Amino acid sequence: MVSETLCLSPRLTRTLSNVIYHKTKGNQLFVSRLLRALNKEGLLRPSLSRRRWEWNMKKIKSRGLPDDVAIFLTDSLRELPDKVQSALFVLSCFGASSESAFVESQGLDRNILENLEIAVAEGLVDKIDDQYRFAHDRIQEAAYNTTPAQKRSVVHFKYGLELSSLLLGDEDTSASASVLFTA
């Protein structure tokens, strides 16, 4: 996976691949997020003069990582701006995916879609047509768990009230129900 991602032969990436495999235990989500993190930290970078990727093996080997991908994802999410974390939490409250108009109507932040676009650029969320979808269920879980359980309960209650008012306030309840209860 590392050689394919870096577009280099496996012979050139063998030592890097072994270190990454050892750190991630081969979990593909963990590997892809770690490669992104290493790039962001400058430990894995493109070299224009050599026209290929370069890495600092010594620093990569010494870089500490949690054993669990969920902890790694949660830590990664905490590095994002607060508004992006909030937008991801809102999206996570409604499952693995949701229509952008629906998310925007439920968000407390007026710029929620702009913040979700930042999450798309980070590779955490995919935007397909007019729908935002978490790139992986573990990312959704991590986004959801960034908010304390007591606050999550209050937020779910608030969203439940808003959704019920949408359903009760609409004369065509079958149309509303199809929007609310789509799997």
> pLDDT digits over 112-160, tens only?
888 888 888 888 888 888 888 888 888 888 888 888 888 888 887 887 7
| Residue 129 burial (CB count, 10 A) | 6
25 vs 170, residue with greater confidence: 25
> pLDDT digits over 36-58, tens only?
888 888 888 888 888 888 888 88
d(CA 96, CA 137): 7
Which pLDDT score is estimated for 171?
53
Beta 97-99 vs 131-134: how paired, if at all?
Answer: antiparallel
- Residue 88 corresponds to which tokens in the numbers above? 């991801």
Which pLDDT score is estimated for 75?
78
Helices (H), 126-172: 137-145, 149-169
> pLDDT digits over 160-172, tens only?
777 777 677 655 5
